[in-house]
Structure 1
């Protein structure tokens, strides 16, 4: 079951309230307890969030209502994740922390923060479940609130997106999208993503505080440990994703166990308890990142293989044939191929 944090529910409730909607009635119909939005650390089912966005679009008659989340977030909405971002040296470090601690915001999605030449792209992939269809308002709200938060941290109109990609088909009217993002827009993409100018992300933040950043990181790590206390698989997956996303190819059992401050044998036993093995978790992450790099970046094949931790191109070719039924080059060139849902571990 996929869940979202109370912070996200709070952003949603604030947005609908500011739009003059009958929030209490909509929440009842969607099955959302409004108290959750005001309870730090609480979680709600993602399908309920989906349903509430659908009802809000119908009640308001505004299919663009998700974009209104840009102006109705609060820095505390991301809770400890937001505080780690606020104390960061710059937006690049803030977004790296967002990816690192994203499991505290919710599950059922993966975030990627990857360089593209001198720029950086933050992309999100939602793992879908049977009977639950992601409404476009959910995607809009995620991108809009992210941009709003980044600009709040930056203290002005920066960062200015270079391009934004949406995972749904192009609507008849994209006027509000154009006014809000003011950049190249692409619809029908595999991911929801924003490409930022690298220089914008390296500007120092006025609230940067290294001592606080260390303190916040420590607390967030503790929260992750508590979150995955009964299932370490998600924590391992997050660490592997973080390392491979940043080109840190060393993702063997020993290095991940050391990062978790546990022995290799303890890690293996924990995975066995969850009915999986380290190689299976690593393979699932590699497959998902391979899809992202091949579909969504201009990296050459040698560099993609390096990022994924393959020592030679032949091994990467064999892995892609196993994952996608074709070579990396064929997969990148085959635009008609619809991405399969990423394996969930």
Structure 2
């Protein structure tokens, strides 16, 4: 396997750990030598092993949409690829065009094609029939993952929460409302293609390279989660890790967190209460930590920091920051 594929499998195991699955058990069931993988000594993961890894992750998590949720959560996971794309791109259109070339570094199950019309542009995922027959479950999960990942990475390139105009799938969905939530499009159309169609205005949108630097900072903060295969963490610790790893696009709602952890918001609240904490407290602790980091760096306007942390109004962020620190963001940054 190449380095990007190894990184991908590593992140899949890291996300499984985040979902409180045992990477040792996952690898054993999938015929993968975890110790050899950790050492990256002559590691070869076959298509069958990768297909089995997806099957076992989905089964053990009781989540048939494991790939979709992984794609929603992995903005930072493929940063090696994303970083190279950003370095060679100036606009969203250029970045997606280059991403189509890079997709083969991560998977050979399908091609990614980017096309443009006068009013829209589309990203289509085209399976290879022979490889699809060899790894059908992995193909489905990788398609789900890639569609969610592309959508969220476009967000990260321009710091806007972008909604596609049209989403089409070539397969039946087990939970259509969840696809609509993650892919931000209703209704999702059933056709013979897997595609995301965007308004053409975003094609020439400049990439915010400074946000790539922010991703790198957060990647360092999340490195323990992404590179350590340990289980047994409390739910609040796993949620904190998730929030750190994905915070550069704002705080997810309680409902979004619950969906990604394949549970109901009520059940998640109850489990957190048993651990003596609320989701609001967890989110605020991350917001405070990141707000201080951003302000101390001096690289980001306060209004941008406010947006990054999920506040629609600057005044709301200012009130929250003063509650946390006793100082306004302006005063704190001047120090």
TM tier relative to shorter chain: 0.5 to 0.7
1:53 and 2:54 matched:
yes
1:113 and 2:117 matched:
no
Equivalents in 1 of 2:44, 2:154: separation in Å?
24
Structure 2: 5+ residue runs without aligned partners?
Answer: 212-335
Aligned pair in 2 of structure 1 residues 201, 75: CA closer, same or farther (>3 Å)?
Answer: farther
C-alpha RMSD of matched pairs (Å): 3.3
Report SS of the residue matched to 1:134.
helix
What is the aligned partner in structure 2 of residue 138 from structure 1?
A: 142
What is the aligned partner in structure 2 of residue 12 from structure 1?
A: 12
What is the aligned partner in structure 2 of residue 31 from structure 1?
A: 31
Aligned pair in 2 of structure 1 residues 179, 117: CA closer, same or farther (>3 Å)?
Answer: same
Report SS of the residue matched to 2:78.
helix
- The counterpart of 1:148, out of the listed 147, 152, 163, is 152
The TM-score normalised by the length of structure 1 is 0.52
Q: Is the Cα contact below 8 Å between 1:67 and 1:144 reproduced in 2?
A: yes
Q: Deviations over 1:292-333 (max 9, x none)?
A: xxxxxxxxxxxxxxxxxxxxxxxxxxxxxxxxxxxxxxxxxx
Q: 1:56 Cα shift? A: 1.6
What is the aligned partner in structure 2 of residue 183 from structure 1?
A: 185
Question: More helix per residue: 1 or 2?
Answer: 2
Q: Is the Cα contact below 8 Å between 1:113 and 1:121 reproduced in 2?
A: yes
What is the aligned partner in structure 2 of residue 193 from structure 1?
A: 195
Report SS of the residue matched to 1:44.
coil
Q: 1:180 Cα shift? A: 1.5
Q: Deviations over 1:137-185 (max 9, x none)?
A: 332112112222222222231x3211222232132x3221121122144
Q: Is the Cα contact below 8 Å between 1:3 and 1:43 reproduced in 2?
A: no
Equivalents in 2 of 1:83, 1:182: separation in Å?
25
Report SS of the residue matched to 1:141.
helix
Q: Is the Cα contact below 8 Å between 1:8 and 1:78 reproduced in 2?
A: no
Q: 1:95 Cα shift? A: 0.5
What is the aligned partner in structure 1 of residue 263 from structure 2?
A: none
What is the aligned partner in structure 2 of residue 212 from structure 1?
A: none
How many residues of Structure 1 are paired with residues of Structure 2 in the alignment?
Answer: 206
What is the aligned partner in structure 2 of residue 168 from structure 1?
A: 171
Q: Is the Cα contact below 8 Å between 2:158 and 2:207 reproduced in 1?
A: yes
Equivalents in 1 of 2:40, 2:163: separation in Å?
33
Equivalents in 1 of 2:197, 2:41: separation in Å?
31
Q: Is the Cα contact below 8 Å between 2:120 and 2:197 reproduced in 1?
A: yes
1:72 and 2:76 matched:
no
What is the aligned partner in structure 2 of residue 218 from structure 1?
A: none
Equivalents in 1 of 2:19, 2:176: separation in Å?
19
Q: 1:70 Cα shift? A: 3.3
Q: 1:4 Cα shift? A: 7.6
Aligned pair in 2 of structure 1 residues 33, 190: CA closer, same or farther (>3 Å)?
Answer: farther
Q: 1:55 Cα shift? A: 1.4
What is the aligned partner in structure 2 of residue 214 from structure 1?
A: none
The aligned runs of 1:1-345 (5 Å cut-off) are 5-34=5-34, 36=37, 44-75=45-76, 77=78, 79=80, 81-87=81-87, 88-127=89-128, 128-129=130-131, 130-135=133-138, 136-157=140-161, 159-171=162-174, 173-186=175-188, 188-207=190-209
Aligned pair in 2 of structure 1 residues 16, 93: CA closer, same or farther (>3 Å)?
Answer: same
What is the aligned partner in structure 1 of residue 293 from structure 2?
A: none
Bigger relative contact order, structure 1 or 2, given CA contacts below 8 A and separation 6+?
A: 2
Equivalents in 1 of 2:137, 2:189: separation in Å?
15
Aligned pair in 2 of structure 1 residues 107, 113: CA closer, same or farther (>3 Å)?
Answer: same
